[in-house]
Chains A and B, each alone.
Chain A
Amino acid sequence: GAVVSQHPSWVICKSGTSVKIECRSLDFQATTMFWYRQFPKQSLMLMATSNEGSKATYEQGVEKDKFLINHASLTLSTLTVTSAHPEDSSFYICSAGGLLQETQYFGPGTRLLVL
């Protein structure tokens, strides 16, 4: 299957700082990238969908000014958690899909801990 990477794999930051998470499709062009969040023992909840070169579409209840998504190229999307607070601590996972892909391929996830 296709390979999607995420960086960093884990991050610890102080409350009030911003954190950027990168998602890269390594061997295919991702026309669409998705960002998910998973709390312990819960399912993956879609936060937003981004198409290359256009603004992201956010799911209901997700603050677009807090979770900034940029999809500047067909291989890279970034999620920036601005002014992070402890309640933003979670496991963030991206996925990438392309026109020739059977499914979305998921990155390994980023564990964020806000102190």
Chain B
Amino acid sequence: DQQVKQNSPSLSVQEGRISILNCDYTNSMFDYFLWYKKYPAEGPTFLISISSIKDKNEDGRFTVFLNKSAKHLSLHIVPSQPGDSAVYFCAASEGYGNKLVFGAGTILRVKS
């Protein structure tokens, strides 16, 4: 039973364009959501988070949108850069600081 789903295994975007990564969840008790970036054979690196009291959080080129009624969140990266190429994981938790449930990840390739 996948509580956090990333339905797109991969995404290819041209440098300078917007990358949109999507994530859906089923557990209505999740109230804290995070995005991580991961390179092969390395641990995930935290990018940005959002709590359920907000519907948008922005940090530089990264913006996360949360649609609670649809149980959907997305990560926007603009402008995309070749260095953004990595695997992006969506994660969710019940409460701040509690265990995370990860999606399967989306491979982002930014072409120059």
Q: Which A residues fall within an 8 A CB radius of B?
A: 1, 4, 6, 32, 34, 42-46, 49, 91, 93, 95, 97, 99, 101-109, 111
Cross-chain contact B99 with A107 (CB below 8 angstroms): no
Q: Is the CB of B89 within 8 A of A44?
A: yes
Interface-lining segment among B64-72, B73-81, B102-110: B102-110
Given contacts A46-B100, A104-B100, contact A1 B41 (CB under 8 A): no
Is B97 an interface residue, CB under 8 A from the partner? yes
Main SS of the interface on chain B? loop
Is the contact region of chain A dominated by helix, strand, or loop, or is it mixed?
A: strand
B44 located at the interface, meaning its Cβ lies under 8 Å from any Cβ of chain A in the complex: yes
Binary interface profile of B, 4-41, with partner A (CB < 8 Å = 1, else 0)? 00000000000000000000000000000010100001
Taking a contact as CB atoms under 8 Å apart, the answer to whether A43 and B89 are in contact is yes
- Chain A residue, CB-CB nearest to B100: A104
List, in ascending order, chain A residues with CB within 8 A of B49's CB. Answer: 102-103
- Which residue of A has the minimal Cβ distance to B47? A103
Q: Decide: B97 and A32 in contact? CB cutoff 8 A.
A: yes
Q: Which of B42, B43, B99, B103 has the most CB of A within 10 A?
A: B43
Q: Are B42 and A101 in contact (CB under 8 A)?
A: no
Q: Is B52 an interface residue (CB 8 A)?
A: no
Query: Complex: how many Å from CA A45 to CA B44?
Result: 13
Q: Which of A44, A49, A97, A101 touches B102 (beta carbons < 8 Å)?
A: A44
Q: Let me know if A1 and B43 touch, CB within 8 A.
A: no
What chain A residues lie within 8 Å of B41 (beta carbons)?
91, 109, 111
Which among B34, B45, B99 has the greatest number of chain A C-beta atoms within 10 A? B99
